[in-house]
């Protein structure tokens, strides 16, 4: 494909994943239009891009009409609060960006005859009764629980995306993203790795919810973005899991981070939040077969790179 003037729109482009995606698209030779209302995003994540001729940033709420002049080849919808601390604080905004925001982003893709890629989530599986989770699994979600505002927003977004594909013929991709970590996560993100790292670097008690036996499968951001890019260029219209199947108990993850940080922290245990998933592991058979993708970066290497970023943020 000739990349001399391929234009990709990234909603939520100043966020953790969105900003890394902007980097990758620019490195591939694309022109990037980044849209973010900065409700959880941060211009610091894209500051290194602001002087580039191939990059434009618009502060805009994508639940409102999106106007882009000229051709657009890809619309990648990454706008949404993504951590429990954010969507519990911003429940209405989370539901709106998953519904109205997805509708507006799909409308842009339809108008421009562009490929649309939805950043969905493993949260569509809820607290799963199937393990590992394959794309064929419909999930076990509490629609009226505290986490329902995020889970159901993403489930609706997937349904809307498939409706646009089937009814309007829009080329669509759906990435079900599993736990991802790396530089540019917020210190106060609230998810396990940022919380463990910030507490360990400050030599504070590291908080593990429940007894720590619940599992997560964590993927380093560079691997995740490579999977997203491969999905964008594929012809896979239906959902594809993107994540690292290397499953680890949460208490072990906390211990590894304490060791890497050479911290004096100890682990304390608190009550498990409502509807917190007990297990989470992607079945990436489809990604391997259709995208020729699987994660390559070992956890220790990824955690070390992330820890260096958090040191700069916390100890500077």
Q: Which value, to the nearest 10 degrees, does the dihedral of the CA atoms of residues 135, 274, 149, 282 take?
A: -20
Mark whether 259 and 172 lie in a shared domain.
Answer: no
Exactly one of 150, 164, 181, 220 is catalytic; which is it?
150
CA 180 to CA 266: how far, in whole Å? 24
Which is nearest to 35 in space by CA: 73, 76, 4, 91? 76
* 150 part of the active site: yes
- 307 and 286 fall within a common domain: no
Residue 66 lies in a domain: yes
> Which helix (H) or strand (E) segment is 110 a member of?
helix 102-112
Q: How many CB atoms lie within 10 A of CB 230?
A: 17
The CA-atom distances, in angstroms, between 139 and each of 98, 122, 159, 180, 213 are 18, 9, 14, 20, 21
pTM for the structure as a whole: 0.95
| Number of domains forming the structure of the chain | 2
Instruction: State the 10-residue block means of pLDDT for the chain, 316 residues long.
Output: 80 98 98 97 97 97 97 98 92 97 98 98 92 94 93 98 98 97 92 93 92 91 98 97 95 95 92 74 97 97 97 85
Backbone angles phi, psi at 254, to 5 degrees: -60, -45
Domain span at 267: 192-213+247-279+303-315
Q: Report how far residue 70's alpha carbon sits from residue 105's, in angstroms, rounded to the nearest whole number.
A: 16
Q: What is the CATH number of the domain that holds 237?
A: 3.40.50.720
Q: Are residues 127 and 175 in the same domain?
A: yes
Nearest one of 157, 145, 17 to 87, comparing CA atoms:
145
Predicted local distance difference test score (pLDDT) of residue 2 = 52
Backbone angles phi, psi at 75, to 5 degrees: -125, 115
Q: Which helix (H) or strand (E) holds 169?
A: none
Structure tokens at 274: 């409502």
Q: Residue 275: what pLDDT?
A: 60
- Please tell me whether residues 55 and 177 are part of one structural domain: yes
Same domain, 286 and 274: no
């Amino acid at each position: 494909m000739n990349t001399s003037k391929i234009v990709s729109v990234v909603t939520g482009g100043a966020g953790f994943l969105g900003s890394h995606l902007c980097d990758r698209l620019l490195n591939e030779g694309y022109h990037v239009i980044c849209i973010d209302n900065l409700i959880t995003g941060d211009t610091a994540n894209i500051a290194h891009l602001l002087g580039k001729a191939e990059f434009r940033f618009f502060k805009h709420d994508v639940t409102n009409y999106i106007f882009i002049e000229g051709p657009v080849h890809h619309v990648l919808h990454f706008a949404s609060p993504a951590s429990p601390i954010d969507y519990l604080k911003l429940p209405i905004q989370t539901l709106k960006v998953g519904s109205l925001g997805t509708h507006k982003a799909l409308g842009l893709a339809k108008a421009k005859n562009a490929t649309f890629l939805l950043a969905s989530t493993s949260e569509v599986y809820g607290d799963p009764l199937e393990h590992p989770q394959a794309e064929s699994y419909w999930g076990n979600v509490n629609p009226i629980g505290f986490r329902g505002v995020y889970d159901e927003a993403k489930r609706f977004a997937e349904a809307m995306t498939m409706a646009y594909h089937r009814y309007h013929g829009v080329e669509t991709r759906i990435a079900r993203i599993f736990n991802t970590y790396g530089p540019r996560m917020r210190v106060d993100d609230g998810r396990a790795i940022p919380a463990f790292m910030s507490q360990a670097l400050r030599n504070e008690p590291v908080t593990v919810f429940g007894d720590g036996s619940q599992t997560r499968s964590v993927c380093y951001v560079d691997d995740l973005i490579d999977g997203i890019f491969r999905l964008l260029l594929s012809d896979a219209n239906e959902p594809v899991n993107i994540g690292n199947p290397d499953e680890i108990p949460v208490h072990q993850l906390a211990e590894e981070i304490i060791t890497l940080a050479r911290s004096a922290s100890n682990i304390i245990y608190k009550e498990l939040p409502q509807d917190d998933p007990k297990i989470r592991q992607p079945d990436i058979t489809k990604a391997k077969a259709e995208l020729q993708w699987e994660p390559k970066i070992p956890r220790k290497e990824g955690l070390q790179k992330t820890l260096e970023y958090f040191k700069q943020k916390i100890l500077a």
